[in-house]
Structure 1
Amino acid sequence: MEKQTSNQKSPPQSELEVLIRARYPLIYVVSWEEQRVLKEVWDIADRLNKKVYEWSITMGLVPGGTSIQSQKQKDSASQDPLVALDTVVEHVEPALYVFKDFHPFLKGQNMSVVRRMREIAISLKNTFKTIIIISPTFQLPGDLEKDLTVIDYSLPCAADLAKLLDRVIEQVKDNPKLKVNISGDVREQIVHSLLGLTLAEAENVLAKTLVQNRALNAESVEVINSEKKQIIRKNGMLEYYDSCENMNTVGGLDELKTWLDRRSEAFTDRARTFGLPAPKGVLLLGVQGCGKSLMAKAISSVWKLPLLRFDVGRVFGSLVGSSEENVRRAIRVAESVAPAILWLDEIDKAFRGSRSSGGSTDGGTSARVFGTFLTWMSEKTSPVFVVSTANDITSLPPELLRKGRFDEIFFVDLPLTEEREDIFRVHLKKRKFDPDIFDIKRLAAATVGYSGAEIEEAVVSAMFDVFYENRNLSTDDILNAVSRTVPLSKTMSEDMNTLREWAQGRARPAAGRLFTEQKQQRQIEI
């Protein structure tokens, strides 16, 4: 019988406990954290005065807590899943039966096991016995859809990770070789960076940063993010970027920088307490080579969040339905390491086939993948900030541009005179030159209509020339390199004018100037 308590406030019931109390016979828990689920099962069994039995292919059905070294209690007969299920039926006392990694036996070819599970679902309905399957993989035959209840066991929340951090600090606080006195802000950064890891992974990485840095401090966040990099690498759909860029390496775009700076604390607990939701994302439209991708990398460094590049090309698999599953899997991984930045570079090319004019070329796969991604963007509650870049607005589906998908749409145009001066300074400093020894104003005046990427290439090209001639770089060397370059603004002037006309009134200027001012200055310059 269930244990009765009086004059005590009951702890909040988890979904798993609710199902057990409601006598659901078959429960499937999808989780990598077997030990964490087992701990909850034991806590529930203790409250309900039930026994716990555990099954695995190596041990058979044994009393819960049996060590793998206890070969005497090993039940070889019940290693057979059918024998184990029969044993569950034969037991009469209230109990919870945990079946570990049982999913391979639920495949279609094991019809005897599937059939026995259906019979047991009926048999256990009016008993105090429950079978709980724990597996990191979800495999459910259609025959069991109505008999088995599935729970996606969420990863540890911030409160769970805060308790773990407190426990680790308590264990090492008396060690004179370790520094674990962390401030409130640093503590919050560490806890938030641990989100997306299992408790075992979080404990391991905290031990790693103690060994590596001999402390728990702000540098621990970088160590933790490197652990998340392993998770991303295993996924295959996402690429983890180690960004070394910051806002000082991006010339111009002052309005965009200000907008991002005001959201730099948006993922903190203070923002949640204030009532602010996590920002959804930003769409950067504009001319090629003007710093859109560079800005995505800079956001990661400034906000101290992992940057995940979503390669949509990898999503489109050869099997029907696999592309949609790939994008869902990529989204799950991004959410698992949140808070994070998800970067979709050149989204106009990635989802070109989603428009009605091109959807038939791939059987509608692009449209379905795009629909999956759009739905997630509108409904996501996890702190994943989406940064998308695009060059060709004619390829963008109109659904992507409506309010609610992104917090803001910025238009990144060719740099004006002051911005070109900033860009020259950035690239000269980046290559260990003193900008003050160059005529920056003269260089900016000679590069009207040049993008940031073209200015950088001119600097690099001049460096190659003087390196070959074994002499110092000068303003004239850069001007010579500029004169040999035909900017994209001249070769594709019609397309750029079309892009500017579209952006006027539809997007916010990233440089902070009104479109009319920009247009007037460009006419004067050109």
Structure 2
Amino acid sequence: MNNFLVPYLKAGYPVIYLLTAEENRAELTTLKAAQECGRNLKIWSHTDGFFGVGEDDDEDSTEDPVDALEVIKASPDKQMFVFRDFHHFLKVPKIQRLVRDIAKKFRQTQCCMVIISPINQIPPELEREITLVEFELPTRKEIEQTFDNLYKANKKSIGTIDDSEKERIIQAAMGLTTDEAEAAFAKAIVERNMNQLDTPISKMVLGEKAAAVRKSGILEYFEAKETMGDIGGLENLKKWLQMRSKAFSTKAREFGLPMPRGILLAGIPGCVAAGTKIIYKRGKRHGGRTLNIEELYAKFNNIRKGYDGGPSWDHTIPTFAQSWDQETGRMIFAEISHVLKKGEKTCIRITTDDAGYVEVTKDHPILMADGEFCEASDIIIGDKLLVRGSMLPKPKKNRKQKKKAKRASIDSLPIWYKSGSVKKVNTSSGVYEYKRQRRSRLVIEAHMNGLSFDEYVEILRNCPKESESMRVLGPEFDVHHIDEDAMNDNISNLMVMLSEKHKDLHHHHDESKFDIEYTRESTVVKIEDVGVHETFDISIKEPGPHNFSTSNGIILHNCGKSLSAKATSNILGIPLIRFDVGRIFGGLVGQSEENMRSAIQTIEAIGNCVCWVDEMDKAFAGMGGGSTDGGTSQRVFGNFITWMQEKTAPVFIVATVNRIDALPPELLRKGRFDEIFFVGLPSDDEREDILKIHVNKYGRDADKFKLDECVNKSTDFSGAELEEAVISGLYHAFYEDRDLESKDILKAIKTTNPLAKSRSRQLEDMAKWATGNAVNASVVKKETKTSAGRQLDI
């Protein structure tokens, strides 16, 4: 294989800036180029000075960067010098002068200075003297050589690997550096041998690759399981993709077929800001815990250095987020499928009178007290929101309300004292395990001991001996909230009562249902812009409510067009890479451009993949106007659209947008995308298809269901909302101890307020734009009118 550095050396380039994080491979490539061109090679670092020269040469052993440049300036002809991490010193005026002097001399002496650095920090003063060269990620042949070396050294323990599995292993490692690939191979082999696993090495390498790609925070690797069979309707989009399903094959190249570029999916929009509190639980745990969304993201996605420094989670244990059941009004827990970073976005804070606040993007839907969803930017002071925090269902008309129970005196209650262990209480019936308590219970116990809440909790946590003398509430007692607001832990709102009486008060005799919580109303008292924040999204997995999650106790609607992007990956038979363009932009000079370059390089090295650019409009909105960042945004945008136009790697782009009008016109020019699709609300036929898909999905025969009325009553429903209707019907039928019927689905539809009703204006605007500018992803059927029969005078 030809060495790409050789032409530069033979052409007399004096100073080369080799942009790469692979220092070892870059130095090996440089050494081979020096040998081929007859150059002597010396390497310098700030810690070791020069090496590769005589040990008694004190002058050449200097660790000072200025002295090192003086050494090479005085060097004889045909020398080559590699400088590690020299970008740190290039801003120093004296070093800039020396580099210019060296460049002038080296043009005449066939010498070359090579700077190896992971980031591009060439100052403007040296742009004409220094040549920037991007060091590409390893080729397929290099990845294969790395695997062969490891395999030969460990063949006995690895066993025989056939050619097809080896091919999958090499493909799985494409896009990694040689060090990352070697580490992934080694870890996969060791884990399989230690745990006697049957999992193919290639699949384990893919897992390591996903973790390695995610480190940048810009790219994310997915194994898409969704197929087009999971999507109802969108027939035009499906046919278009099906026709291109073989376009990435060798046969297609031989036929002369051009590589498909990609598609843009326009549809309806939100995200929550970092710091948002999410209530979650793991596995079979009954109670929920609170975690910041960024910590949830780190733990859920196995990012080892999480935000809180703690370990990541075992994904064999399911994770649930607090959600809302639209039919019953209950707060429930629904399983999480994904926690995604959505980039830095402008957010607003909506503060309520008694339920705290939430920070979200302006387009995020929030649940109002009337059951409708409203965009955050449309909410005004005085509006009422539905929030978590009541122990009773929302009152309906003519419903008789229970009388409030009277408050019992704490002094009249039997009290237990701690003994021996902070977490155990001796009682007449044995030892009571004093586990994690609700805040209301601790408020009562603090009052019993004449302490403030903070003082009492501090003693429990940090003063074992003193805590032994604390009075605690006996295990047969519960704490009741007098105003039914489970978040109001004021001592005047708390009442101690026997557990059995507490259950009777709430009509809950089943221990597993004792924690049921409902919604209440809260008034918006303040709305303010809070600037740009890191934002996140949670995707909920069936069989729980898909579209709702609670953030700081306020109920939000989860939105997205990700299903089509994932299904595209599956139908084309190639992996999915999510490209978060919004995270490209960094605070340091040159960092944004370097992030874009690195991301594109990784995507192209992986090759044969779907590149899912989520919410492109958020990243590139307003690019046509004036820039206030010194042109950084324009340069990054220019690099991206140039790559889209000129890329030769087999990468298929699927871009999703919420607001097509926010995109700069350059992105919509012919040649950027093969096609632009508008994903609107499903038609009558599509709604029927969607309902049938989900009825069949849950083990029933859709042909036995009468779905006509369900279709007629669900005009403004999205596909996700139709699936929720089927799921709600299943719960209703299960509760009544019978099988699912059409009437269960219809009932769920009638009690659902579709999101499109609160976003009708936005949907209409997008539909108008799509006419003449985009292809409808669905087949639009025109009504055919028959001519009236001749009237006879009989």
Indicate the residue corresponding to 2:63 in structure 1: 79
**Equivalent residue, structure 2, for 1:310:** 580
- Distance in 2 (CA, whole Å) between partners of 1:370 and 1:63 is 43
Aligned mates of 2:168, 2:131 — CA distance in 1:
36
Residue 316 of structure 1, CA deviation: 5.7
**Alignment partner, residue 240 of structure 2:** 259
Corresponding residue for residue 63 of structure 1:
52
Secondary structure of 1:341 counterpart: strand
Q: Could you say which residue in structure 2 is the equivalent of 1:6?
A: none
Distance 1:442 1:74 in 2: 91
Residue 417 of structure 1 contacts residue 448 of structure 1 at CA under 8 Å; is this kept in 2? yes
Alignment counterpart, residue 117 of structure 1, candidates 99, 102, 121: 99
- TM-score by length of structure 1 reads 0.78
Q: Which amino acid aligns with 2:46?
A: I
Structure 1 residue 181, shift from structure 2 partner: 0.5
Q: Distance in 2 between matches of 1:390 and 1:170?
A: 49
Cα deviation, residue 59, structure 1:
2.1
Q: 1 CA distance for matches of 2:655 and 2:82?
A: 44
User: For the aligned residues, what is the CA RMSD?
Assistant: 4.1
Q: Which whole-Å CA distance do the structure 1 matches of 2:23 and 2:687 have between them? A: 56
Unaligned runs of 5+ residues in structure 2 are 270-546, 548-558, 786-794
Residue equivalent to 2:477: none
Structure 1 residues 43 and 485, CA gap change in structure 2 (3 angstroms): same
| SS of the residue 2:677 aligns to | strand
Residue 95 (structure 1) shift:
3.1
* Distance change in 2, residues 1:261/1:124 (3 Å): same
List per-residue Cα deviations over 1:375-428 (Å, max 9, x = no partner). Answer: 332233333322122354444444333320111122334333443233224334
Q: 1:219 to 1:509 in 2, by over 3 A?
A: farther
**Does residue 276 in structure 1 map to residue 257 in structure 2?**
yes
CA contact (8 A) 1:246 1:301 kept: yes
The answer for the alignment partner of 1:139 in structure 2 is 121
Aligned to 1:3: none
Q: Secondary structure at the match of 2:115?
A: strand
Please say if 1:41 is aligned against 2:308.
Answer: no
Separation in structure 1 between the aligned mates of residue 50 and residue 592 of structure 2, nearest angstrom: 39
Letter in 1 for 2:101: E
Q: Does 1:29 align with 2:29?
A: no
Question: What SS is found at the alignment partner of 2:265?
Answer: strand
- Alignment of 1:375 with 2:354, yes or no, is no
Given that 2:120 and 2:594 are in contact with CA atoms closer than 8 Å, whether structure 1 keeps it comes out as: no
Q: Size of the alignment, in residue pairs?
A: 494
Listed one character per residue, the Cα deviations across residues 184-231 of structure 1 (whole Å, up to 9, x for unaligned) are: xx6555444433211222222233333445699995554343333334
Does the 8 Å CA contact 2:262/2:674 hold for their aligned counterparts?
yes
The 3-state SS of whatever aligns with 1:126 is: helix
Q: Which of the residues 35, 41, 48 maps onto 1:52?
A: 41
Contact 1:256-1:510 within 8 A present in 2 as well: yes
Larger Rg: 2
Q: What SS does the corresponding residue of 1:138 show, helix, strand or coil?
A: coil
Offset, 1:240? 4.5
1:92-491 to 2 correspondences below 5 Å: 92=76, 94-106=78-90, 108=91, 110-168=92-150, 175=156, 178-183=159-164, 189-213=168-192, 219-241=200-222, 243-286=224-267, 292-302=561-571, 303-310=573-580, 312=582, 314-315=583-584, 330-348=599-617, 350-354=619-623, 370-428=637-695, 430-431=697-698, 435=702, 438-441=705-708, 443-463=710-730, 465=732, 473-487=740-754
Alpha-carbon distance in 1 for matches of 2:241, 2:198:
25
Secondary structure of 1:175's partner? helix
**1:468-495 deviation digits (Å, cap 9, x = unpaired):** 6676544322211101224456565566
Q: 1:329 and 1:127, CA in 2 relative to 1: closer, same or farther beyond 3 A?
A: closer
Structure number with higher strand proportion: 2
- Does structure 2 conserve the Cα–Cα contact (< 8 Å) formed by 1:229 and 1:240? yes
What letter corresponds to residue 456 of structure 1 in structure 2?
A: E
1:294 Cα deviation after fit: 0.9
In 2: Cα distance, 1:503 partner to 1:224 partner = 42
Mapped partners of 1:406, 1:24: distance in 2: 39
Q: How far apart are residue 124 of structure 1 and its match?
A: 3.1
What is the alpha-carbon distance in structure 1 between the residues aligned to residue 593 and residue 40 of structure 2? 42
Distance 2:7 2:581 in 1: 40
**Identity, % of aligned positions:** 41
2:43, 2:50 within 8 Å by CA — same for their partners in 1?
Answer: yes
State the partner residue of 2:7: 18
Residue 296 of structure 1: CA displacement?
A: 0.6
| TM-score of the two chains, using structure 2 as the length reference | 0.54
